[in-house]
Amino acid sequence: MKRISIDDYFLKIAAVVAERSTCIRRKVGAVAVRNKQILSTGYNGAPAGMKDCLELGCLRDQNNIPSGKMHEVCRAIHAEQNVIIQGCLHGISLEGATVYCTHTPCVLCAKMLINAKIKRFVSFKEYSEDSFAELFKEAGIEFDILEKPEEKINFLE
């Protein structure tokens, strides 16, 4: 059995984190890593302690808002925002970190990740808009869109 790459390892973890999402439209997970150590995780969903889309339904669907538009009409905080917030809450800087995320970021999250001073962003699925790419390039953030890792978890018997 071949050992999976470090990128696939953390992308699989991001996919598991996404399973906690309370978004009806798209489940997104993110993991911030430095020196092969997880610093924080985040998934998209309503702010802590508030009602979410699983309970109330999706405001964006109810208003026929397409993906990538009018981000403010949404109960959810994005996974990338939550990965930054969780780091802050626990006194952990993401400076120099790699963020592994199931999807590429929206422009708002890209700006936040730039200010968090991450050095690399890795994903396996593209979001509906790609304006992040030019921002990351200008900020010197390396980004890779890789093949989706195998969904199967290989256990030793």
Measured at the CA of 127, the angle between CA 40 and CA 151, to 5 degrees, comes to 65
> 80 an active-site residue?
yes
Q: Which residue has tokens 């984190």?
A: 17
- Where do we find the tokens 């030019």? 134
Q: Which strands sit side by side in the sheet containing 37-43, from one edge to the other?
A: 37-43, 29-34, 98-101, 120-123, 142-145
Helix (H, G, I), strand (E, B) or coil at 125: coil
Question: Are the beta carbons of 43 and 82 closer than 8 angstroms?
Answer: yes
Taking the C-alpha atoms of residue 56 and residue 9, their distance in angstroms, rounded to an integer, is 34
Catalytic residue among 19, 72, 80, 95: 80
User: How far apart are alpha carbons 125 and 122 in whole angstroms?
Assistant: 10
Residues with catalytic roles: 80
